[in-house]
Amino acid sequence: MRFELNYIDGKWCESLDGNYFDVYDPATGEIAAKAAKGTAADTERAIAAAKREFYENKNGWRSFCAQKRSEILLSIADELEKRIDEFAKTETIDNGKPLREAMCDVTDAVSYIRYYAGAIRMPSGVTYDVNDGFGPMQSFTVKEPVGVCALITPWNYPLLMGVQKIAPALAAGNTIIFKPSSNTPLTSVKFFKLLENASIPAGTANLVMGSGSVVGDCLSKSEDVDMVSFTGSTEAGQSIYKNAAVNIKKLGLELGGKSPNIIFADADIEGAVEWAMIGVFFNQGEVCSAGSRIIIEESIKDKFITRLKERASKMTIGNGLHDPDMGPLVSEHQLKTVLGFIETAKKEGCKIEYGGKRYTEGECKRGYFIEPTIISGCTEENTVIKKEIFGPVACIETFKTEDEAINIANNTQYGLAGAVFTSDGARALRVIKQIRAGITWINCYNPAYVEAPWGGYKKSGIGRELSTNGLEEYQETKQITINLKPGKAGWYEER
């Protein structure tokens, strides 16, 4: 049995109370490892180490020039790239996703680290040519690290979302306390072993595993934490938002979604069907930006559903290590949650066109598998349309006019993502500009790139990750004004 430890102030350590929690392999339902269960006291130790390193160590990580931080990050990326196969396998055991998807995640993580290693060495700041009654002045801005940053991630992309926060936070010169999901901490532990061997000063990067109600609350309430970056449910984000008011700390929140995928009658049906599958079945539908509301023009509804059912019926389901089209959901709790939404849809009069049941064939008897599911006859009043399911469940609505499609798409508390499928270029741009969401696609669904910003409107969050925006999230902007003619200002006349 593997026993994984927290990493605090440059040392691997058990929790202060000696407790561990079980980490399950979702494909088998068996315990894959035990992880140290961080307490509030462990979290405070990590916060103290990060605070000391940032504010007291004059030769610490913050003092490293951009070039040196960049070189260290590049060395970490190189080490991760050498071990892509190993990390991908661990990610699949941890999360359940198909191995090829895990391979993409690790490859992207390497790319993210290299991107921010380069971004920190690019020009930053702005100069202003100013002058007034005080005489010649020069103003300019510089970018500085925020300070002690708490990074809290979910279980659907354990390594990638961790790196998505860790890379820009460290690039900017911050110190961090990282809390992974209790469902999926294993690749985080492996990644911190890379950080340990990368000449990063003790206290710069700390890992505390444990529950959100203990570790997460402690981080978000602490007056010694300068920023919290959280990805997860809107409900958890609201709690962090309230906790952060203690010291008005900086916040980055990437929260829930219930994203629309609008398909017009003139769209390429075969292409739209496959992209819709990518939008809702990729990563078992455990994707915050999933296109789970498929909004189809009524005249092609039957044709689209028929083809979607045919394609879904050919998807393979199995242990992610065997690289099927879909692996298991992350946990038994999540499986029960998704099945509960499907039962609610039935009770509310929706039609299960395909799937809707736990999958138990062959090697899948003991794991948390579910069939890809298609539900039709949905309206804006149905629970499956209002709530984020976070599973492979496509919920189909219909429309007759362009304005109706836009209204249906925007009738949600969320605003993370959305897409439009049509062969009419003008309509595509016209409609996508009216969708109230931060991440949008035309004639595709789900591609994401480190070069482009990621984040949502409304209850889908605050701030942006990825791109240069993602680096700026972990920076403060300081204005500096220089008097070019030092001496008396002459504002107050001596009498």
Q: What is the mean pLDDT of residues 81-106?
A: 98
Residue 248's pLDDT is 94
What is the C-alpha to C-alpha distance for residues 221 and 242, in angstroms, rounded to an integer?
9
> pLDDT per residue over 411-451, tens digit each?
999 999 999 999 999 999 999 999 999 999 999 999 999 99
3-state secondary structure of 99: helix
Beta bridge mates, 218: none
Q: Which helix (H) or strand (E) holds 43?
A: helix 40-55
Instruction: State the pairing for strand pair 414-415/457-458.
Output: antiparallel
Q: Could you tell me if 397 and 437 lie in one domain?
A: yes
| Catalytically annotated residue among 4, 53, 101, 254 | 254
Q: Is residue 321 part of a domain?
A: yes
**Predicted pLDDT at 155:** 98
Query: How sure is the predictor about 493, in pLDDT bands with cuts at 50, 70 and 90?
Result: confident
**pTM (2 d.p.):** 0.97
In 99-195, beta strands by DSSP E = 127-132, 135-145, 148-152, 175-179
Whether residues 111 and 173 share a domain: the answer is yes
Are 143 and 30 members of one domain? yes
3-state SS assignment for residue 320: helix
Residues 310 and 251 in one domain: no
Among this protein's residues, is 395 annotated catalytic? Answer: no
What is the average pLDDT across 248-276?
Answer: 98
Rg (alpha carbons) of the chain, rounded to whole number: 24
What 8-state DSSP symbol labels residue 155?
S
Domain that holds residue 375: 260-442
Q: Is the dihedral of CA 19, 39, 37, 338 positive or negative?
A: positive
Please say if the pLDDT value at position 132 is more than 80. no
* Catalytic annotation, pick one of 149, 218, 288, 395: 288
Domain assignment present for residue 450? The answer is: no
Q: What are 41's two structure tokens? A: 């006291």
The answer to whether residues 20 and 77 belong to one domain is: yes
Residue 131 has pLDDT above 90, yes or no: no
**Pairwise CA distance, residues 468 & 94, whole Å:** 30
Angle at Cα 489 formed by Cα 488 and Cα 495, nearest 5°? 80
In a domain? residue 486: no
The tokens describing 225, both together, are: 């934490």
Residues 288 and 168 in one domain: no
Minimum mean pLDDT range among 43-52, 123-132, 435-444? 123-132
Q: What CATH number is associated with residue 344?
A: 3.40.309.10
**pLDDT at residue 494, as a whole number:** 78
Q: What is the mean pLDDT of residues 224-233?
A: 98
380 is known as an active-site residue: no
Share the mean pLDDT of the chain. Answer: 97
Segment 226-255 shows an average pLDDT of 96
**495 pLDDT exceeds 80?**
no
Rounded to an integer, the average pLDDT of 286-311 is 98
242 inside domain: yes
% of the chain surpassing 70 pLDDT: 100
**Are 180 and 288 in the same domain?**
no
Asked whether residue 449 is domain-assigned, the answer is no
Structural domain contains residue 490: no
User: Based on the domain organization, do 231 and 311 belong to the same domain?
Assistant: no
Rounded to an integer, the average pLDDT of 191-211 is 97
What is the arithmetic mean of pLDDT over 246-256? 95
Beta bridge partners of residue 425, listed in sequence order: none
H or E stretch including 119?
Answer: helix 99-119
Q: For position 21, what pLDDT does the model report?
A: 98
Spatial CA neighbour of 301 closest among 265, 251, 335, 275:
265
Query: Are 145 and 282 part of one and the same domain?
Result: no
Predicted local distance difference test score (pLDDT) of residue 448:
96
What is the number of structural domains in the chain?
2
* Whether residues 321 and 355 fall in one domain: yes
User: Is 288 a member of any domain?
Assistant: yes
Closest to 191 measured CA to CA, from 149, 157, 162: 162
pLDDT of residue 90: 98
Give the pLDDT band (50/70/90) at residue 199. confident
Q: Identify whether residues 188 and 300 lie together within a single domain.
A: no
What percent of the chain is modeled with pLDDT above 90? Answer: 95
Task: Tell me phi and psi for residue 4, to 5 degrees.
Answer: -100, 140
CA distance 310 to 327: 19
Q: What is the mean pLDDT of residues 208-225?
A: 97
Question: Are 35 and 148 part of one and the same domain?
Answer: yes
| Cβ-based neighbour number of residue 4 at 10 Å | 20
Q: What is the mean pLDDT of residues 146-168?
A: 98
Instruction: Calculate mean pLDDT across residues 12-37.
Output: 97
CATH number of the domain that residue 142 is part of: 3.40.605.10
pLDDT the model gives residue 383:
98
* Residue 119 belongs to a domain: yes
Q: Answer yes or no: is pLDDT of 363 > 80.
A: yes
pLDDT above 90: residue 111? yes
